[in-house]
Amino acid sequence: MASRRRESRAYPLMSRDEVEALIADGRKIVIFQDFVLKVDSWLPYHPGGDKAMLHMVGRDATAEIEALHSDEAKERMLRYRIGKIEGLWRNFVAPIQGGTFRTLAEIKDASAVSSSSSSDADSAKGNSSCTPDSSRSPSPVFESTGHGLKHRQGNSRNEFARPASEDPTVSIVSETDDGMSYLDSVTREHIRLDLDKYPSLEPETQANILAKYRALHQRVLDEGLYDLNLRGYAFDVCRYIACFLLSLLCLHWNQFALGGILLGHMWHQLVFTAHDAGHMGITHRYHVDTVIGIIIADFIGGLSMGWWKRNHNVHHIMTNAPEHDPDIEHMPLFAVSHRLLGSLRSTYYDRVMKYDGVAKVLLKFQSWTYYPLLALGRFNLYFLSWDYLIDYKGPRKGPGAWHRWLELVGQVFFWTWFGYGILYKTLPNGWARFVFVMTSHIASSPLHVQIVLSHFAMSTADLGPQESFPQKMLRTTMDVDCPEWLDFFHGGLQFQVIHHLFPRVSRHNLRRTQKLVQEFCNEVELPYALYGFADCNKQVIGRLSEVSRQAAILAKCQRSIASSGDLSGHGHHHHHHHHDD
């Protein structure tokens, strides 16, 4: 430890302004364990994809980095140190999320304009906020509610700095002709509800939550919850083999539907182990676990592990953010947030998710189409996997680069045994093939319900860059309460909150970790959302219907403006509808 401390003295102390200027200059700067890291050169090599790193620019990413990386990776990161910081770091909004940064010259101009007394106070406070927080009305949150507005760092206020009115319909009357003001009012309302329910976003409060979370992480380590649970995986493997052999037996007896269901059940179960492997939750060694994941996902399941990792890493750090989290970006099929009705630009897919005619029709019925569409989800996953592998979206260099070639071999292997061996050679005719493909793919679809269950009904509000990692995870994720004997069916996904806090803990140890997390939540007064399976489903369907209803209100706003052009009338219409709800 002493050597590391001695080494750390060699790095210059950097101010928040210097960091801002570097980012304005296009550098990718991340704060990790009080060090300033410049990670530009690592970006193309990062096995977890470039997007995940871009979301952390300008932020203290210590919690996120420690949650998702192996010890070797964390050691490797220290190579990129260029300086260190002191005191509490106030996060910037990353450029990929619309944050704007000023060069040193611009910062100097700004401080020359502001009164000298306040700039003295600033330098005394180190890197805390550019203006004393007390001068802000009513909360720093409204600085960054991504609405296509450019996020402004520091103390410039945007329109979200005014208090959210008690009645969201008051702000309806606006000059805009497209009902966007209605969506904004709902956004403000959601943020207000979250602010009431969750701890304050003051840097001190969030730093305290982070410190307690770190202590909790140490307990998880000390109690051996990271240890390999060999017994659990041995039982799993027996189940997989039994399912596969029974499936082949059914085909031998011409029971095509039953054979398909058993194969689908095997895929459904296998994904849980692939999920552990993708998070380095089995041996905690990057290459070993990734190869296990590729064998399961690509060779046995026909899906790309690399695609999933790139997608999933962003999901873990930007959970439930409508414009950043690919796991809730299913336009035009579903929208789980009213914000998606405003044609948001997805930073993940790099395109606008249009709220167009098709979306208007599909979202009307989304609470009815939810299960049928999820049942066919596996076909979409094939497409996404091929798109990822053919388009070479993974890292082209670095430790994870060769995985793509193994994945391509896996895809050939899968279509040889499944496509040629079973579908073409074993099954007698077209009808048998159709039945077998549909039953096997639909039987594995409870997985898709399980994956989205924990997030679709939770908050999608953006509380700004000051919110700590553990608070964001607990606000955007819920757990499914199920009896222990059913754990095999949920495969660890029922402990999604625990998994989001400690992604590298194997699913066999999540139930034991849950007790520690429950204590942590009570201590820092963070609500922990836990519902029964049926209730979870009700919550999700409820959320889907709510967004459908918001879409109807939006259409009404747009129609009344179009027909009358009378803004006061428009406000009136809306007010009336709001009470009908």
Domain-located, residue 372? yes
pLDDT at 396: 87
- The last residue of a domain, from among 56, 72, 97: 97
Query: 26 pLDDT band (50/70/90 cuts)?
Result: very high
For residue 24, the domain's CATH number is 3.10.120.10
Structural tokens at position 527: 């609500």
Domain count of the fold of the chain: 2
Answer yes or no: is pLDDT of 580 > 90: no
Do 91 and 217 lie in one domain? The reply is no
Domain-located, residue 175? no
- The last residue of a domain, from among 46, 77, 97: 97
Query: 175 pLDDT band (50/70/90 cuts)?
Result: very low
pLDDT at 381: 96
Answer yes or no: is pLDDT of 308 > 50: yes
* Of 6-15, 143-152, 256-265, 553-562, highest mean pLDDT: 256-265
Rounded Cα distance, 313 and 439, in Å: 31
pLDDT at 374: 94
- For residue 380, count CB atoms less than 10 angstroms from its CB and return exposed for 0-12, middle for 13-18, buried for 19 or more: middle
pLDDT at 68: 94
Higher pLDDT, 562 or 115: 562
Do 88 and 204 lie in one domain? The reply is no
Asked whether 549 and 363 are in contact (CB, 8 A), the reply is no
Domain-located, residue 496? yes
pLDDT at 165: 39
Quick: pLDDT tens for 503-557: 999 999 999 999 999 999 999 999 999 999 999 999 999 999 999 999 999 998 8
Answer yes or no: is pLDDT of 3 > 70: no
Do 91 and 218 lie in one domain? The reply is no
Return the biggest CA–CA distance within the chain. Answer: 87
Do 84 and 224 lie in one domain? The reply is no
Range of the domain at 300: 197-534
Quick: pLDDT tens for 255-298: 999 999 999 999 999 999 999 999 999 999 999 999 999 999 99
What residues does 481 pair with on adjacent strands? 532
pLDDT at 154: 46
What is the rounded average pLDDT for all residues in the chain?
86
Domain-located, residue 554? no
Q: In the predicted model, what is the mean pLDDT of residues 382-397?
A: 93
pLDDT at 291: 97
Higher pLDDT, 474 or 557: 474
Domain-located, residue 145? no
Domain-located, residue 450? yes
Domain-located, residue 580? no
pLDDT at 123: 42
pLDDT at 153: 52
Answer yes or no: is pLDDT of 372 > 80: yes
- The last residue of a domain, from among 51, 71, 97: 97
Answer yes or no: is pLDDT of 173 > 60: no
Do 71 and 201 lie in one domain? The reply is no
Answer yes or no: is pLDDT of 483 > 90: yes
Answer yes or no: is pLDDT of 571 > 80: no
Domain-located, residue 159? no
Asked whether 497 and 517 are in contact (CB, 8 A), the reply is yes
Rounded Cα distance, 122 and 114, in Å: 11
For 111, the enclosing helix (H) or strand (E) is: helix 104-113
pLDDT at 566: 52
| Residue type at 440 in one-letter notation | S
